[in-house]
């Protein structure tokens, strides 16, 4: 076809300084100059803009948008499959009685039902005292059947401390209750030597309007089962393991402040803090200050979960909440990791926080994560200090501890 000279000169002037092939009026558009791959030509056609008033801007094809949305939904579905891939529930009959390395979810759920009860466990109430006495009985029973030395203690503490932040204030408290159990390690270190104990912390109290099955009785049950299994080991660990069942966390982190003054605390070298803002799914590591614990977590936990964004939000103050990890870090000078689970967060601090919604298999990942975290540190001899030097506190506290049977609980003001 012969193109009129007038149209040919017009198109040559328009496209003289562009890489876009000329478009002649009245004839099909020419192919792009040079050899290019099909996907490059497709991207070029989608992204290129018109170069003059008469050439329309190319719009994104609807098929491309549909594929993009489908890919996004598929990615979300696969991520949810990984999140819901809980381990198989393990019963007592599946593991040997004296196996110190296994975790029985059946046993952990029994502990959970014992701890939860039928009322909120608010610190300072008679029901909280009753549950504290029952928990002390469970710890004493585990200690009696242990193959290695296990010591238990019921700490009652009063004192005051300064809380900094947007509104600094002094918090005074009395009769804060903590239940503690310690698996004694090898007696190779001098008595009173610092940095030979690992602290594992959870809290068993609840808010006034919730039974607190997930926050935080579930992790308490995991710690009880882990303590029960670890105490059956014939050979001592190289380090002590302190299991702290914190009885006053929901009232301003008072229980953790109280334990800082405990005799056993001066030997702690690292802490693993366990808490919850949900009731299902896999636990997530969201705060960390100890590289050895991070390495152990990565090596020994199946499909580990960690969120750096959580640490950023907590340190920025955007989250109107806190965990005992701040006390261990700021007041205790400890390093460690903070673990919690977040799925089904709508039940957090509500009357829905009770045992039935907890899916089968959700307790075992918590147990295996806890065991994986302190596995390396237990077999490692204490060397160096992981504490930070802190200024000596000017606050004064009166501290006393007592070890008593469930039938003779310590006197408290209720």
Q: What's the pLDDT tens digit per position in 156-193?
A: 999 988 887 777 888 899 999 999 999 998 876 555 45
Q: Is residue 172 assigned to a domain?
A: yes
403 falls in which pLDDT band (50, 70, 90)? very low
The edge-to-edge listing of strands for the beta sheet with 150-163 is 284-288, 336-341, 268-276, 197-203, 240-246, 169-183, 150-163, 398-402
The confidence score (pLDDT) of residue 321 equals 79
Q: Is residue 414 assigned to a domain?
A: no
Reading phi first (left if > 0) and then psi (alpha if -120 to 50, else beta), residue 63 is in: alpha
Same domain, 9 and 111: no
Q: Is residue 184 assigned to a domain?
A: yes
pLDDT beyond 80 at 262: yes
The confidence score (pLDDT) of residue 23 equals 52
User: pTM of the entire structure?
Assistant: 0.74
Q: What's the token pair of residue 360?
A: 């089968």
Same domain, 50 and 193: no
Q: At what angle do helices 218-230 and 363-378 cross, to 10 degrees?
A: 50
253 phi and psi angles, rounded to 5 deg: 60, 30
Report the CATH number at residue 230: 3.40.630.10
Would you call 132 helix, strand, or coil by DSSP? helix
Q: Is residue 150 assigned to a domain?
A: yes
The confidence score (pLDDT) of residue 243 equals 96
Cα distance between residue 409 and residue 381, in whole Å: 37
Cα distance between residue 198 and residue 374, in whole Å: 8
Q: What integer best gives the mean pLDDT of the chain? A: 76
Same domain, 384 and 311: yes
Q: What's the pLDDT tens digit per position in 283-315?
A: 888 888 888 888 888 887 777 788 888 778 777
Domain end marker among 59, 79, 105: 59
- What is the count of structural domains for the chain? 2
Pair 27, 1: CB distance under 8 Å: yes
Catalytic residue numbers, as ranges:
249
Same domain, 116 and 238: yes
Same domain, 329 and 371: yes
- Residues 6 or more apart whose CB falls under 8 angstroms from that of 308 comprise none
Find the domain containing 27 and state its range: 5-59
Residue 159's nearest CA partner among 373, 358, 396 is: 396
Q: At what angle do helices 218-230 and 126-144 cross, to 10 degrees?
A: 20
């Amino acid at each position: 076809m012969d193109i009129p000279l007038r149209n040919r000169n017009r198109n040559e002037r328009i496209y003289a300084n562009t890489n876009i092939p000329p478009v002649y009026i009245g004839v099909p558009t020419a192919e792009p100059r040079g050899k290019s791959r099909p996907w490059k030509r497709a991207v070029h056609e989608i992204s290129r803009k018109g170069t003059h008033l008469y050439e329309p801007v190319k719009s994104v094809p609807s098929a491309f948008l549909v594929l993009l949305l489908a890919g996004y939904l598929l990615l979300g579905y696969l991520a949810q499959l990984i999140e819901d891939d809980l381990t198989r529930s393990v019963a007592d009959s599946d593991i040997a009685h004296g196996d110190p390395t296994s975790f029985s979810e059946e046993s952990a759920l029994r502990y959970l039902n014992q701890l939860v009860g039928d009322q909120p466990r608010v610190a300072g109430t008679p029901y909280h005292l009753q549950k504290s006495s029952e928990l002390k009985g469970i710890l004493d029973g585990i200690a009696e059947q242990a193959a290695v030395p296990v010591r238990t203690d019921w700490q009652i503490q009063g004192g005051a401390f300064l809380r900094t932040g947007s509104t600094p204030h002094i918090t005074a408290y009395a009769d804060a209750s903590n239940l503690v159990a310690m698996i004694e390690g090898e007696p190779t270190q001098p008595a009173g030597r610092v940095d030979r104990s690992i602290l594992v912390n959870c809290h068993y109290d609840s808010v006034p309007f919730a039974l607190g099955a997930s926050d935080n009785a579930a992790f308490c049950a995991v710690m009880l089962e882990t303590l029960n299994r670890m105490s059956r080991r014939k050979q001592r660990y190289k380090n002590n393991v302190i299991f702290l069942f914190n009885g006053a966390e929901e009232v301003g982190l008072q229980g953790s402040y109280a334990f800082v003054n405990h005799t056993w605390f001066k030997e702690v070298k690292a802490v693993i803090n366990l808490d919850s803002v949900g009731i299902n799914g896999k636990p997530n590591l969201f705060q960390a200050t100890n590289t050895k614990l991070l390495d152990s977590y990565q090596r020994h936990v199946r499909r580990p979960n960690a969120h750096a964004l959580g640490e950023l939000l907590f340190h920025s103050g955007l989250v109107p909440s806190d965990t005992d990890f701040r006390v261990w870090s700021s007041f205790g000078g400890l390093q460690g990791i903070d673990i919690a689970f977040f799925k089904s967060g709508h039940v957090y601090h509500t009357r829905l926080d009770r045992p039935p919604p907890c899916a089968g298999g959700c307790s075992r990942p918590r147990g295996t994560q806890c065991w994986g975290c302190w596995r390396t540190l237990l077999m490692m001899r204490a060397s160096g200090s992981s504490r930070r030097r802190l200024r000596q506190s000017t606050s004064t506290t009166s501290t006393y501890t007592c070890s008593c049977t469930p039938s003779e609980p310590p006197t408290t003001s209720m």
